[in-house]
Structure 1
Amino acid sequence: MVTGTTAVPGPGGTDEPPLTVDQLAARAGVTVRTIRFYGTRGLLPPPVIGPRRVGHYGPAHLSRLALIEELQRQGMTLAAVERYLEQLPPDIGAQDLAIHRALVASWVPDSAEVVAREELERRLGRALGDDDIDRLDAMGAVGRGPEPGTYRVDPGLLRLAAQLLDVPIAYETILAARTVLLEHTRSVAHELTRLFRDEVWQPYRDREVKGAEAAEEAQAAGPGPAGAGRGGQDGRAEAMRTLSAPIRPLVVQALVTAFQRSLKEELRAAFGPEAAGSAGTATGDSGP
């Protein structure tokens, strides 16, 4: 729940103009009623009240709405979303919220949407040139769609990647950075999957097999419940989902925290303490 903070238009040093509630709803793809409901639940910070008592919203509101949407896509209830947001720093900005959303979205299989260019520009609130599309493609946020003029969009990465369009980073540099990220994240995913398989899933399966054998012995000795010990492929898949579900948010948060701390250390070593000062904002990390 957001408490004790007042959002301001364009936090985090952005130059985006403030949005009215109708504009925010259009950009986020939700209804005005939903925005106001989230506000009453404390999921969104209050707007800044401007002239004529008009509420002004900023990029942090937009990023928070996107994160709420992604958490609900994961199957979280509104109460669970509230608990998740309560763990975030109260002054978290739009960019750090976008990082959280991108990581949460990574657990959703095939979450890409197909949209027309006009819809893509509407979501970002800006016109896009062909060079912009190429750079978004290099960042993995946008790809060519099945029909001319359509694009496959990764909702979790889109707004985060769009923030880099005005940063003077060469297309080739973006591709090189993406290669580094993919190589290292695949390595992390491989090792974490191995740990889950060997230390969590296999012991669970061993206990399941022993339980099934005991049930068969009991059934052979006398009448027992029909179907005892039968799991099947569907049962194993459901068991794996049940076992892995509580691990996913922890892994996401651990990845964010570990990366922020490593980035802070590298920035300090390369450019001095001042450059590392803002590297821990996404997780509230204030460690050395």
Structure 2
Amino acid sequence: MTTDAEEPTLTVDELAARAGVTVRTVRFYGGKGLLPPPVIGARRVGHYGPEHVARLALIEELQRQGMTLAAIERYLHQLPAGLTAHELAIHRAVVASWAPDAVETVPRRELERRAGRPLSAGDLERLAAMNVVTADEGGDGGAFRVDAGLLRLGVQLLDVPLSQEVILAAREVLMEHSRAAARELSRLFRGEVAERAAQDVRSLSAHMHPLVVQALLTTFQRSLREELGEWLGGSGTD
């Protein structure tokens, strides 16, 4: 069932740990049809892949939006079949764009549960450099303020074989160009709705926000694929 490059090699315990949930939760979602069945390997052991991890992250994001289990079921059942982990991550990013910025203060144990892994002192330093977490100065030293919308991305970046300097420089590039795009889009939309009633403007804004985010993500995804394809093709590594 896996279409990403990474094969389904996670056991149910490893999947639960990676997603920051319990094995019971994984089995519950599987029984509800919210997770595809695992690939059955030797000794009848089920193996899970990156799509399962991404789908659990999407479910978690939908829960953060306050959606009921029934609403989450309807949302997931409306998705096209066979979505890759990357495509599910785009859906999660769009869902996350509906929510206001959410910064919470949590103890380290809860932070690691949400991250789905233990976090070393070096990991915490890198997450802090990316503005994902900061130590809670008013606490006892064991609590952290965490940007819930950035945590999963930050944790994934911990395993990317790039230096901290390159990651931070990439962040600055993305922020600079996303701000420029936001300014231009805002200017276009303001001109379009200038003569409309306030209620119409609010309604349009509510509908356009997730649509614009999805459009930006899709456009960037395709542009990055083209750039990487040209780079790898030119380097003779194809």
User: Structure 2 length as normaliser, TM-score?
Assistant: 0.76
Hey, what's the Cα distance between the residues in 1 that align with 2:235 and 2:83? 20
SS across alignment from 1:246: helix
Q: Is the 8 A contact 2:13 2:23 kept in 1?
A: no
Question: Runs of 5+ in structure 2 lacking a partner?
Answer: none
Could you tell me which amino acid in structure 1 is paired with residue 178 of structure 2? T
Hey, what's the Cα distance between the residues in 2 that align with 1:110 and 1:97? 21
SS across alignment from 1:115: strand
Q: Is the 8 A contact 2:2 2:84 kept in 1?
A: no
Distance 1:72 1:194, change over 3 A: farther
1:12: Cα distance to partner? 4.2
Q: Which deviates further from its counterpart, 181-190 or 146-155?
A: 146-155
Task: Count matched residues.
Answer: 233
Distance 1:68 1:266, change over 3 A: same
Considering only CA atoms, is the larger Rg found in Structure 1 or Structure 2? 1
**Paired residue for 1:269?**
230
1:268: Cα distance to partner? 2.8
Pick from 158, 161, 168: which aligns with 1:175?
168
Indicate yes or no: 2:37 matched with 1:46.
yes
Hey, what's the Cα distance between the residues in 1 that align with 2:134 and 2:5? 28
Indicate yes or no: 2:206 matched with 1:255.
no
Hey, what's the Cα distance between the residues in 1 that align with 2:229 and 2:46? 40
- Higher relative CO (CA 8 A, sep ≥ 6), structure 1 or 2? 2
**Paired residue for 1:154?**
147
Hey, what's the Cα distance between the residues in 1 that align with 2:182 and 2:66? 22
Question: Runs of 5+ in structure 1 lacking a partner?
Answer: 1-5, 209-235, 278-288
Could you tell me which amino acid in structure 2 is paired with residue 78 of structure 1? I
Q: Report the RMSD for the aligned CA atoms in angstroms.
A: 3.6
Distance 1:199 1:171, change over 3 A: same
- Identity among equivalent pairs (%): 53
User: Structure 1 length as normaliser, TM-score?
Assistant: 0.65
Please give the residue correspondences for 1:1-288 in structure 2 after superposition, counting only pairs within 5 Å.
6=1, 12-13=5-6, 17-20=10-13, 24=16, 27-29=19-21, 32=24, 35-36=26-27, 38-39=29-30, 42-50=33-41, 53=44, 55-74=46-65, 77-78=71-72, 81-82=75-76, 85-86=79-80, 90-93=82-85, 95-145=86-136, 146-147=138-139, 148-200=141-193, 202-205=194-197, 236=199, 240-272=201-233
